[in-house]
Amino acid sequence: MSSKMFKPFVVAIEGNIGSGKTTLLERLKVNNKSNTLYLEEPVDQWTYVGGHNILEAFYDNPERYGLMLETLILLTNLERDNIPTDKEFIVQERSIVSSLLFTPDMNEMDQSLYKRYVDCLKNVPSRVPDLIVYIQTPPEVCLERIAKRGRKEEAGISLQRLRVLHDRHEAWLNSGTGKDTVYATPVMIVDDNSKIEKLF
């Protein structure tokens, strides 16, 4: 089979901030199956950009830095999607699809510009996932986990913000059709991280 024709089966782990995406990915990596590539969310690339911490700037001033952070997340996701691999499966934190959905902090002008990126990229081949695993974690639990891991950029995240993001995930991934509302990708909803370990 030509390498240009090969497309691995992509599983994207989606969920709120602090829902357990990284924890689940780490547990799956313990199996270390030779035919699977595991890709974490590139948070370190958002905290150091030319000496600047874009993630921290965003949380300090979401409206001012919303477009900058979302564009950076989109860029790093696209770069991650271009990593060459001959693996049969890819299991990754988030996907390009979620990069196109979560822009609640932008002002109207920035949203209009970002929408142009989105409309363009919808027609660009990328690693749109073949399966989405949605970790459906209550916002209150997410807040507890965020506090426990102690990432300094996340210190000011409120329960209200987590509830807004939870509602957006629900609208996107829990419509009752078993598929997401953007690309109609199959969705597996997991409300307990331990349940999914038996599936891979």
Question: Rounded to whole angstroms, how far apart are CA atoms 44 and 49?
Answer: 9
What is residue 91's three-state secondary structure?
A: strand
- Nearest 10 degrees: CA dihedral of 33, 191, 9, 25? -40
Question: Rounded to whole angstroms, how far apart are CA atoms 10 and 89?
Answer: 6
**Which sequence positions are flagged as catalytic?**
93
- Which residues 6+ apart lie within 8 Å of 35 measured at CB? 87, 88, 89
CA 170 and chain centroid, separation? 14
